[in-house]
A and B are shown apart, each in its own frame.
Chain A
Amino acid sequence: MKRWLLWVPLVGFAALLGVIAQGLLKPADRTVRSAMIGKPVPAFRLAAIAPGKPGLASDDLQGGQPRLLNIFASWCIPCIAEAPQLLRLKQLGVPIDAVAVRDTPDAVADFLRRNGDPYARIGSDRESAVQLALGSSGVPESFVVDGQGRIVLQHVGDIRADDVDAIAAAVRNAR
Chain B
Amino acid sequence: MKRLLLLAAVLLSAPVLADSRLPPASFADTQLADPAKEAQAKELMATLRCLVCQGQSIADSDAEMAGDMRALVRRRIQGGERPDAIRRWLVERYGDYVTYDPPFGPATALLWIAPLLMLAAGVLLARQAFRKKPR
A interface residues, Cβ below 8 angstroms from B? 30, 32-36, 73, 75, 77, 101-104, 107, 126-129, 131-135, 137-138
Check B97 for interface membership: any CB of A closer than 8 A: yes
Check B79 for interface membership: any CB of A closer than 8 A: no
B interface residues, Cβ below 8 angstroms from A? 17-22, 25, 51-52, 54, 64-65, 68-69, 71-72, 90-95, 97
Task: Sample 11 A-B pairs with CB under 8 A, ordered by A number.
Answer: A32-B94, A36-B92, A36-B93, A73-B20, A75-B19, A102-B64, A103-B20, A127-B68, A127-B71, A128-B68, A138-B51
Q: Which B residues touch A132, using CB under 8 A?
A: 68-69, 72, 90, 93
Q: Which B residues touch A73, using CB under 8 A?
A: 20
Cross-chain contact B68 with A34 (CB below 8 angstroms): no
Cross-chain contact A75 with B20 (CB below 8 angstroms): yes
A-side interface mostly: loop
Cross-chain contact A137 with B65 (CB below 8 angstroms): yes
A95 to chain B, nearest CB (A): 25
Q: Which of A73, A128, A133 has the most CB of B within 10 A?
A: A128
**When the two chains form the complex, which single residue of B17, B68, B91, B97 contacts A32, counting CB atoms closer than 8 Å?**
B97
Cross-chain contact A107 with B21 (CB below 8 angstroms): yes
Cross-chain contact B22 with A104 (CB below 8 angstroms): yes
Q: Which B residues touch A104, using CB under 8 A?
A: 21-22
Which residue of the partner chain A has the closest CB to B98?
A: A32
Q: Which B residues touch A127, using CB under 8 A?
A: 25, 68, 71-72
Q: Considering the chains assembled together, what is the distance between the CA atoms of A88 and B57 in angstroms?
A: 39
Q: Which A residues touch B94, using CB under 8 A?
A: 32, 34-35, 135, 137
Q: Which A residues touch B64, using CB under 8 A?
A: 102, 128
Q: Which B residues touch A134, using CB under 8 A?
A: 93
Cross-chain contact A32 with B51 (CB below 8 angstroms): yes
Cross-chain contact B68 with A129 (CB below 8 angstroms): yes
Cross-chain contact A75 with B21 (CB below 8 angstroms): yes
Q: Considering the chains assembled together, what is the distance between the CA atoms of A77 and B14 in angstroms?
A: 10
Q: Which A residues touch B21, using CB under 8 A?
A: 75, 104, 107
Cross-chain contact A129 with B93 (CB below 8 angstroms): no
Q: Which B residues touch A36, using CB under 8 A?
A: 92-93
